[in-house]
Structure 1
C-alpha cells in the first residue's frame, strides 16, 4: 500500500520528496489561495517503482546501483536506450495495493478528467525551465487511465531529451526525486500566464484550457499592468482561432484515449479579448496578495474555470507558481499593493531602489527613539545622522527631508536593500505616524496607500543586479566592490569581483554594534571585546574573498557623536588619530590578529588624509603593529582632499603604496558645494569638467609614480560615460557598490574595446 498526501497535509519534511512545484502549491493552499485540491504521489514511490523493474534491456536494470553511463552524443544509441527504458516502465503494472489506493483517492475528486503534473526535486538547485522535461499529462478520471498517465509521467524523466540534459549536467537519475500531483480538470473559460517584467506584470491570455498557449498554437492576448499603479499600460489582441476543451466523457473510455479536443473559435470570440476588465482586476488582486508573501516569484499559470454549481460564477485558480531562482535570475523586488490612480503625495530623490508599502513612523527632534517601534516601518525624519545609522537596519524604508545619493545613510541602505527617498521637503509635517504609504526608491515618489488597514510585509532584498549578469568578456581593469555588511557576502560571492576595494569600517562597526549606537557600544564594550568582534568581522571578508585582496578603510571619527558636538576640535580622518589614536590602534590590532591567522590578503586605507605629517604618524603606528611583516600588506591613503593632487609625490616618498580616490568627498570639496547638494546627484547632466580633469590628473600622477590607483564612490554610477576616460588615463581599479557591478563591468568592457580599436587604427 502507498501513502498519498493531499496538498494541505504536506509538511516541511516532505519537500525533498514532493518537489518544488508541489511544495509551493501546498503552501499556497494552506494560506487560503485558490489552488485546486489534489493529492501527491511522492518521489519515494517513483524510486520504489524503478527499483522493481527487472527488464535487463532497460537502462534502469539494477537501479539504483547501475552506473547509468551512456553516450548522449550518439543520437541513435540515445534514442534506443530511452525507448527501452520507457517501454520497461509502461510494461510494468502497479502493485494491486497501489492501484487500490489510487482508485480510492480519485473517487474523492469530483471532475470528469484529471491533470497529472510532475514536480522535480533534487539535492542540487532545480531551474524552472526544467519543467519542460516533464510536461503535464491529462486523462479521464478512471483508475486504468490514471495508471497509464502516471507511468507516462515517470517515463518522461528517461526520455532522450532528459537523459541528454542530465548527462550534460553531470547528474545521475538516482539523485532525482519526482513527485506527481493529481488534480481535477474541468473546462476553463480562459487560461494564461502572468510574468514579472522590469516595470510591469505581463498577462498572456487565451480562450479555453491552456493547452493551445503552452503548445504555441495561438498568439495570446497580451495585457501589461503597471507594476506600481496597476493600470493597463498596454494591451494587444492576439490571434486566437482555436481553443481546447474536454470531450464529453464516454461511457467506457479507452485507457489511452485523449480527453481533450480542439475546436474553432467563433469570429466574435476570436476578435474579443479573453479577459474583461473585471477579471483583470481579480487577477491583479491575486498578484498583489501573492506579492505580500515572504517568497519571491517570477511567473504563475492561472485558469478561469467554468462554474459547475450555483451561483455559476467563474472561479480564478492558480495552476502553478514559479519561484525566482538565485542570482542568475534574481528574485523580483516585492511590490507594494497598487495605489491605483492615486496622485503622487510627495517627491524627492530616489537614493536606494525598491518599492514597498508600510506604516510611517515620524521622528522629530522631540520624538523619543524607541527602537521596538521602528522595526519594519517607513521612518520619516529630517536627517539621519551618522550615529543614527543603525536605524536603517530596523527600517522597511526611509524618507528624509535632507541628504543625497552619497550620504552614508543612502550608501548603507543600498547595501541592505532598504528603499530610500531623500530631499523630501516638508515630509515630517505632511506625514503622520501610522499612515500607510507606498514608497518608490527608484523614482523618488511617495503615494498615500488605498489600503490603510493592511500592514504589508516590506521588501528587504539585498542590493543586486536587476537583470541576469552578463560577464561574457574579460576585462583588464580590476573591478572591486564597496562593502560593509556581513549579510551581503553571499551575494558578492556570485559576482566577478577582484576583491573588496573599500571595506567601510564605520558601517562594519554599525553591523557589530547593532542595535546600539556606536557611542553606546564603545562605552559599554571592553577594548579587548571591541578588538575581538572587529577581527571577527574582518575575518569573514578575508576568508570569503581570499586570495583576492581586501582593502580596509579605517574608522573616520565623523561617525561619532563627539565629532558632531565638538566642531572646534578637528577629529575628521587621520587628524583624529593624531589627537587620540586609541581606536585606530584597536583596529590595527584586529587587522594584525587576522593576518597572523594566515590571511595575507588584508590591506589598509587611511581616511581623509590632509597632510604628509598625518600620514607619517599613522605609518609609524602601522609599523609597530607589525602588519608590514606580511610581504603582501599595502598601506594606501584615501585621496579625498584636493591638496593631495599637488603633494602626491611627497606622500609616495613617505611610504604611500597606493591611492583610493574617494569621489563622494573629493567632488564636493573640489567643486565647493555641500556633499548632499542635489547637483551632485543629477545624472541627467554630464560630469563637471573640473572634477573629471581632477580625477584624470590624480590617476596620471599615480601612474607616473608607479603606484596603483583605485576609484570608489557614486560617480561611476551617476556618470558611467567617464569610465572610458578613467581607463584611458590608467586607472588600475574601479570599486562600486554591489548593485552597480554588472553595469560597471559592461562599461569597463566597452571602454577597453574602444581603446583597443583606437590603438589598432
Structure 2
C-alpha cells in the first residue's frame, strides 16, 4: 500500500486519512466503491514534515518547524512576508529523496499523460473546526507540470510552499491554527484534454452545476454555463455562459505567444487556449440527458458519503457508459452554501431562494430588504433608509451609492464589475452583488436577505447564518489585509494596518481614491501617492442629483471653484509631498439623473472625456481654476489626468486651457492623459510631441473598446476579460512605447491580482501601478517579492 510514503487512491484505508488529507481521502473512498474517478497517487504529509525537519535553518525560530509553534505577527506584514519568503526559498532549495522521485516517475510513465497536476490535500488535527476544510478552498493553489522528474520536483515544492505564503500564514494565524496542526499531502493526477469540465453541489432539492468546454481552468474566468436540476420534479434550468475559448493540454513540443507565456507560466509549458467556434460557443455544454445523468451521480455520491459536498468533474469525449469522471471531492462541513435542506425550511420553494450575480464589492452581510424604485426615489428618500437595510434595485448610480453609505449591502439587476457604482461601493466597503436577474421581482421589502459579495450570491427567506456574516459598522476605520478576496469582509474591523514604507524600486505603487473617508489611514499605507483621484465620484455630493452642466448654470462660478478646491485640498494635504493625480470629469451620461447635452446618448461612446470639454469648456475651466487655487495654498503635488482622450487635437485644446490658467508654472505639475481609447496605441509619439508628459493606462475602458464589450452590461461580464491576449498585448505595447519616447506610464484598473501579470508589467518597465486601498498590501508584497527574487537571480 505504501511505497516511500506514496499512497494510491484506490488503496487508501481509513487509517490513512491524516496522511493523505481530506480531498484525497474522499476521492479514494469513492474510487474504491466503484465511482468513476480520475486516478492518482498521494505524497504523504509525512514527506513535508521530514523535509522541514532536516533543513539547515539559519534562524533558530525555524529549527523545529514541523513540531513547534511558529509565532507570526499577523499585523506586521513586513515580518509576515520575510518569514514566508525564507521558508519558501528553503523549500525550493531542498533536495527531495531520490527514492520518492523514482517511484513518482515510474507511476507517471504508466499514465502516459502529457501533463500532471499537483493538488494540495490537507487535514487538521482532531478537535479543530471542521468547517475550515471548505472555508480554505482556493487558499492553496495547484500546480501543473510536465511528467518528468525535474518538473515534478519543482511542482511538488511549489505546492508545499503554498502552505507558507504570506496570505496562508495570515489565514492560519487569524483562525488560531498553528502550522504543525495542518497536515499537507499532495495529490498527483494525470491531465488529459477533455470535452468539458465543471463543478456541482446540492442545495435543497436542487443540483447546481457550472460547466465549461475543455479543462476546468476556464471556470476561473467566470464564463461557465450554469444549470440547475430539481431532484424531485426533474425540472431543468439553463443560464448560458459567455465562454470564448477552452483550455486543452498542450503537446510536449507546443509553444504559445509571448504575451500569454509572460503571465501564465502553466500555459507556456502545459496548457493551450483553443478558440471556440461560434456554433460551439452558442451550444449548451451539457444537453438535458447529460445534465440529468450528472445530477443523479452527484446525488448518489452525496448519499454515499452522507454529507454535503462539492464535486469537480470532467466529461470524457468518447461515449463510454460512464462519461463523467470525478476529479475532486470537497466535503462541505457546516457550509452555508452546501447544507441543502438544513439551510432552508422544508417548503417546496426553499431550494429556489438563492440567486447568482457578479461579486461587485466584497463582504458578507445580512439585513432587511428595501426595494428601491430607481426612477422615482428622491435623494432625501435614500438618506432615510434605515441602517442595516439591503437595497434591492434594478440599477444604482454613483450618486445614489454615495447617499447609501448607511446600508448593509446593495443588490442590482443591472451593472458590471467595473461600473462606477461598483467601484464606489468597493471604496466605501459596502458589499454589493450586481447583475442578478429578476431580483426586484423575487425579493420584496421587509424580507430577510443575505448577500455574499465575495462569491456573488444572494439568499433570502428562512435560513441560518454563521456569526461571521454580520458586517461591522461603516464608521469604523479601514483595515487592509493580505488576502483581499478572502478577507474583504474584514475591511472594517477597526484594526487599521500600517505597513512599512517600501524601498524605492523602479516601479512606484499608487493608490486609487475618490472618497475622503479614512483618508488619514490610507495615507499611512506604503504608497508613493494617489495615481488616480476620480473627480466624478469625489464631487457627487456637490451635484445634488443634477447633471454637472445644470449645476454649473445654477451657482456663481466663484462658489463652484471654491467648492471643488475644498474637495481636492484634503487629498493633496494628506499625501504631501507625494504626487496626487486628479482626473478631470469624465461624464458618462447614464450615471446622472439628467443629461444636458444629449437626448439619447450611448453611455460608453457619448459626449464624454476630453471631447466634452470642447463643447462645454466652462466645466473644464472651473476644475482647472480649483486646482490652481489649491496650488496657491502651497500644495504643489497636484497633477492632471485627462480622461478618455480620442485624438491629439483634443489634447492640444486641453493643454492650451491648462496653460492659460497657469498650472504649468509650477515645476512639479504634470499633464498626463488616460490611455483608454485604442487610438493611443498608434499615436503615442504624436501625443508626446504635442506635450503629453505621461499616461495612465485605464484597463477598464481599454478592455471594453478592444473587445467590444460593454463593461456595465451584466450579461456580458464573462466576455469582459482584462487578461485577454489582445488586452495584454496592447498594455505591453503601450508600456514599451512609453519607454521608447521617454515618458512615465502607470496603470490602473482591476488586473493586478494575477502575480504573473504583475511580474510582466515590472519586466516591461511600467513606472507606476495604482490600486484600490484594499489591494495595496497584496500588490505591495507581491512587488517586493518579485524585486527580491529578481535581485537574487541577478546575484547568482
TM class by smaller structure: 0.5 to 0.7
Structure 2 residue 503 is matched with structure 1 residue 474 = yes
Q: How does 1:400-415 map to 2 (within 5 A)?
A: 400-415=412-427
Paired position in structure 2 for 1:667: 703
Looking at structure 2, the residues matched to 723 and 517 of structure 1 have their Cα atoms a distance apart, in angstroms, of: 38
Q: How does 1:67-78 map to 2 (within 5 A)?
A: none
Structure 2 residue 469 is matched with structure 1 residue 448 = no
Q: How far apart are 1:465 and its partner, in Å?
A: 1.9
Q: How far apart are 1:422 and its partner, in Å?
A: 1.0
Paired position in structure 2 for 1:355: 364
Q: How far apart are 1:228 and its partner, in Å?
A: 12
Structure 2 residue 778 is matched with structure 1 residue 743 = yes
Secondary structure in structure 1 of the residue aligned to 2:752: helix
Paired position in structure 2 for 1:526: 556
Would the alpha carbon gap of residues 549 and 617 (structure 1) be closer, same or farther in structure 2, given more than 3 Å must change? same
Would the alpha carbon gap of residues 680 and 666 (structure 1) be closer, same or farther in structure 2, given more than 3 Å must change? farther
Would the alpha carbon gap of residues 617 and 685 (structure 1) be closer, same or farther in structure 2, given more than 3 Å must change? closer
Would the alpha carbon gap of residues 570 and 689 (structure 1) be closer, same or farther in structure 2, given more than 3 Å must change? closer
User: Which of 400, 409, 421 is the aligned partner of 2:433?
Assistant: 421
Secondary structure in structure 2 of the residue aligned to 1:486: coil
Note the alpha carbon deviations across 1:387-446, whole angstroms, 9 max, x for none. Answer: 544344353211011222211111101111111011111111111112121111111122
What are the ranges of 5 or more consecutive residues in structure 1 without an aligned counterpart? 1-126, 130-218, 237-334
Looking at structure 1, the residues matched to 722 and 684 of structure 2 have their Cα atoms a distance apart, in angstroms, of: 28
Looking at structure 2, the residues matched to 539 and 405 of structure 1 have their Cα atoms a distance apart, in angstroms, of: 30
Q: Any conservation in 2 of the 1:661–1:710 contact (CA below 8 Å)?
A: yes
User: Which of 381, 384, 394 is the aligned partner of 2:393?
Assistant: 381
Structure 2 residue 544 is matched with structure 1 residue 544 = no
Q: How far apart are 1:513 and its partner, in Å?
A: 4.7
Note the alpha carbon deviations across 1:359-409, whole angstroms, 9 max, x for none. Answer: 212223564442244343211112223554434435321101122221111
Paired position in structure 1 for 2:610: 574
Alignment TM-score, normalising by the size of structure 2: 0.51
Looking at structure 1, the residues matched to 375 and 719 of structure 2 have their Cα atoms a distance apart, in angstroms, of: 36
Paired position in structure 2 for 1:642: 678
Q: How far apart are 1:555 and its partner, in Å?
A: 0.5
Looking at structure 2, the residues matched to 672 and 743 of structure 1 have their Cα atoms a distance apart, in angstroms, of: 30
Would the alpha carbon gap of residues 724 and 713 (structure 1) be closer, same or farther in structure 2, given more than 3 Å must change? same
Note the alpha carbon deviations across 1:7-59, whole angstroms, 9 max, x for none. Answer: xxxxxxxxxxxxxxxxxxxxxxxxxxxxxxxxxxxxxxxxxxxxxxxxxxxxx
Paired position in structure 1 for 2:735: 699
Looking at structure 2, the residues matched to 664 and 700 of structure 1 have their Cα atoms a distance apart, in angstroms, of: 20
Q: Any conservation in 2 of the 1:404–1:678 contact (CA below 8 Å)?
A: yes
Would the alpha carbon gap of residues 484 and 587 (structure 1) be closer, same or farther in structure 2, given more than 3 Å must change? same
Note the alpha carbon deviations across 1:519-557, whole angstroms, 9 max, x for none. Answer: 775565432222111101111011110000000000112
Q: Any conservation in 2 of the 1:383–1:401 contact (CA below 8 Å)?
A: yes
Paired position in structure 1 for 2:526: 496
Looking at structure 2, the residues matched to 683 and 744 of structure 1 have their Cα atoms a distance apart, in angstroms, of: 25
Looking at structure 1, the residues matched to 531 and 725 of structure 2 have their Cα atoms a distance apart, in angstroms, of: 25
User: Which of 329, 340, 343 is the aligned partner of 1:341?
Assistant: 343
Paired position in structure 1 for 2:756: 721
Secondary structure in structure 1 of the residue aligned to 2:517: helix
Paired position in structure 2 for 1:485: 515
Looking at structure 2, the residues matched to 710 and 551 of structure 1 have their Cα atoms a distance apart, in angstroms, of: 11
Paired position in structure 1 for 2:286: none
Q: How does 1:249-398 map to 2 (within 5 A)?
A: 341-342=343-344, 345-364=354-373, 367-369=376-378, 370-376=381-387, 377-386=389-398, 388-398=400-410
Looking at structure 2, the residues matched to 619 and 402 of structure 1 have their Cα atoms a distance apart, in angstroms, of: 37
Would the alpha carbon gap of residues 680 and 547 (structure 1) be closer, same or farther in structure 2, given more than 3 Å must change? farther
Secondary structure in structure 1 of the residue aligned to 2:518: helix
Q: Any conservation in 2 of the 1:414–1:463 contact (CA below 8 Å)?
A: no
Would the alpha carbon gap of residues 669 and 128 (structure 1) be closer, same or farther in structure 2, given more than 3 Å must change? closer
Q: CA RMSD in A?
A: 3.8
Q: Any conservation in 2 of the 1:716–1:722 contact (CA below 8 Å)?
A: yes
Paired position in structure 2 for 1:657: 693
Q: How does 1:592-603 map to 2 (within 5 A)?
A: 592-603=628-639
Looking at structure 2, the residues matched to 483 and 366 of structure 1 have their Cα atoms a distance apart, in angstroms, of: 28
Q: Any conservation in 1 of the 2:693–2:744 contact (CA below 8 Å)?
A: yes
Q: How far apart are 1:515 and its partner, in Å?
A: 7.8
Note the alpha carbon deviations across 1:317-339, whole angstroms, 9 max, x for none. Answer: xxxxxxxxxxxxxxxxxx9xx99
Looking at structure 1, the residues matched to 699 and 716 of structure 2 have their Cα atoms a distance apart, in angstroms, of: 11
Paired position in structure 1 for 2:788: 753
Deviates further, 480-489 or 741-750: 741-750
Alignment TM-score, normalising by the size of structure 1: 0.53
Note the alpha carbon deviations across 1:108-139, whole angstroms, 9 max, x for none. Answer: xxxxxxxxxxxxxxxxxxx999xxxxxxxxxx
Would the alpha carbon gap of residues 227 and 554 (structure 1) be closer, same or farther in structure 2, given more than 3 Å must change? farther
Secondary structure in structure 1 of the residue aligned to 2:355: strand
Q: Any conservation in 1 of the 2:502–2:526 contact (CA below 8 Å)?
A: no
Q: Any conservation in 1 of the 2:711–2:720 contact (CA below 8 Å)?
A: no
Q: Any conservation in 1 of the 2:703–2:722 contact (CA below 8 Å)?
A: no
Looking at structure 1, the residues matched to 731 and 74 of structure 2 have their Cα atoms a distance apart, in angstroms, of: 46
Would the alpha carbon gap of residues 550 and 472 (structure 1) be closer, same or farther in structure 2, given more than 3 Å must change? closer
Q: Which has the larger radius of gyration?
A: 1
Q: How far apart are 1:751 and its partner, in Å?
A: 2.7
Paired position in structure 2 for 1:733: 768
Looking at structure 1, the residues matched to 128 and 620 of structure 2 have their Cα atoms a distance apart, in angstroms, of: 61
Q: Any conservation in 1 of the 2:367–2:390 contact (CA below 8 Å)?
A: yes
Would the alpha carbon gap of residues 564 and 391 (structure 1) be closer, same or farther in structure 2, given more than 3 Å must change? farther
Would the alpha carbon gap of residues 646 and 614 (structure 1) be closer, same or farther in structure 2, given more than 3 Å must change? same
Q: How far apart are 1:463 and its partner, in Å?
A: 5.5
Q: How far apart are 1:651 and its partner, in Å?
A: 0.4
Would the alpha carbon gap of residues 681 and 486 (structure 1) be closer, same or farther in structure 2, given more than 3 Å must change? same
Question: Relative contact order, CA 8 A, sep 6+: which one is greater?
Answer: 2
Would the alpha carbon gap of residues 408 and 380 (structure 1) be closer, same or farther in structure 2, given more than 3 Å must change? same
Secondary structure in structure 1 of the residue aligned to 2:635: coil
Q: How far apart are 1:577 and its partner, in Å?
A: 0.2
What are the ranges of 5 or more consecutive residues in structure 2 without an aligned counterpart? 1-72, 76-124, 136-174, 178-335, 345-350, 483-496
Looking at structure 2, the residues matched to 386 and 235 of structure 1 have their Cα atoms a distance apart, in angstroms, of: 39
Note the alpha carbon deviations across 1:142-180, whole angstroms, 9 max, x for none. Answer: xxxxxxxxxxxxxxxxxxxxxxxxxxxxxxxxxxxxxxx
Would the alpha carbon gap of residues 612 and 518 (structure 1) be closer, same or farther in structure 2, given more than 3 Å must change? closer
Looking at structure 2, the residues matched to 601 and 235 of structure 1 have their Cα atoms a distance apart, in angstroms, of: 44
Would the alpha carbon gap of residues 554 and 405 (structure 1) be closer, same or farther in structure 2, given more than 3 Å must change? same
Would the alpha carbon gap of residues 678 and 610 (structure 1) be closer, same or farther in structure 2, given more than 3 Å must change? same
Looking at structure 1, the residues matched to 683 and 618 of structure 2 have their Cα atoms a distance apart, in angstroms, of: 28
Looking at structure 2, the residues matched to 724 and 400 of structure 1 have their Cα atoms a distance apart, in angstroms, of: 35
